[in-house]
Amino acid sequence: MQKTKLIHKVRAVKNKKELVNIVKAQKISEKVLRYIVVNLKTGVSEIQIANQIKKMFVKYGAPILSFPPIVSFGKNTANIHHEPGKTKLKKGDIIMFDFGCTVNHYCSDMTRTFFWGQPSKKQKKVYLAVLEAQNRAIKKLQKGERRAKIIDYTARRFLGKKFRNNFKHGLGHGVGTVIHEWPNFKPKSKDILPTGCVMTVEPGIYLKGFGGVRIEDMVLITKNGCKNLTNVPKDLKSAILK
């Protein structure tokens, strides 16, 4: 057990070369996302978009994905691990994309939520709450907090006041040659984040029959704070696509 733990801790700290690969993988993912968002059309299905995502990764030279892309429209966004199906995009839908690719075996991971047309009052409320929870967690990291459970608690407590028991997963995880690495942001996590590890920060709210919002960035834990490796706008205005 101790040996495994030690390996996890050694793997968690990324050297410059490893970071270059993760950053490159993330930049390719961002290019793919920009292409997909511009080419969305009413009536297109989740599976069509998922296939398009895979094609674009091949085109941009990163054919090996971190995991199968999650594409969900409308009520399907309430399903955390939704598998893209035949559901078609319609006006008023929430859209969720969660995907990443690998460069020299190193993974990227990002989630963005959008609105196909003007969001309703409730859609806006959920989106802004998730965004605020993420900002609070990242601010804690920037101030040097390294206890994983405190970071998780910061986002969870904020969301819990607005939506009871709807944040149903850990706040994030380490990323490296596998998509889920040590350490983990979870309520009972005893992990202490080492300088040099790359973490996802991904709060989410999932309301059955309504839809969900998740916003996920990858951050590098630095000596005195953290550096966000994700460069896709996530303010409410940028999330409205039509």
Residue 201, H or E segment: strand 198-201
Question: How many CB atoms lie under 10 A from the CB of residue 180?
Answer: 16
Cut 0.85: pTM above it: yes
Statement: residue 70 has pLDDT above 90: yes
Q: Which two tokens stand for residue 39?
A: 């080419």
Q: Which two tokens stand for residue 88?
A: 């078609």
Question: How many CB atoms lie under 10 A from the CB of residue 16?
Answer: 7
Tens digit of each residue's pLDDT (9 = 90 or more) over 207-222: 999 999 999 999 999 9
List all residues 6 or more positions away from 70 whose beta carbon is below 8 Å from its beta carbon: 81, 82, 83, 84, 96, 97, 98, 99, 111
Mean pLDDT rounded to a whole number for the chain: 96
Residue 226 C-beta-side C-alpha neighbours within 13 Å: 27
Domain ranges of the chain: 2-239
Tens digit of each residue's pLDDT (9 = 90 or more) over 127-181: 999 999 999 999 999 999 999 999 999 999 999 998 887 899 999 999 999 999 9
What DSSP letter does each residue of 84-116 carry, written as one string? P-SPBP-TT-EEEEEE-BEETTEE--EEEEEES
Look at 1 and 62; give whichever has higher pLDDT.
62
Statement: residue 42 has pLDDT above 90: yes
Question: How many CB atoms lie under 10 A from the CB of residue 53?
Answer: 23
Please state which CATH number belongs to domain 2-239: 3.90.230.10
Tens digit of each residue's pLDDT (9 = 90 or more) over 103-134: 999 999 999 999 999 999 999 999 999 999 99
pLDDT at 94: 98
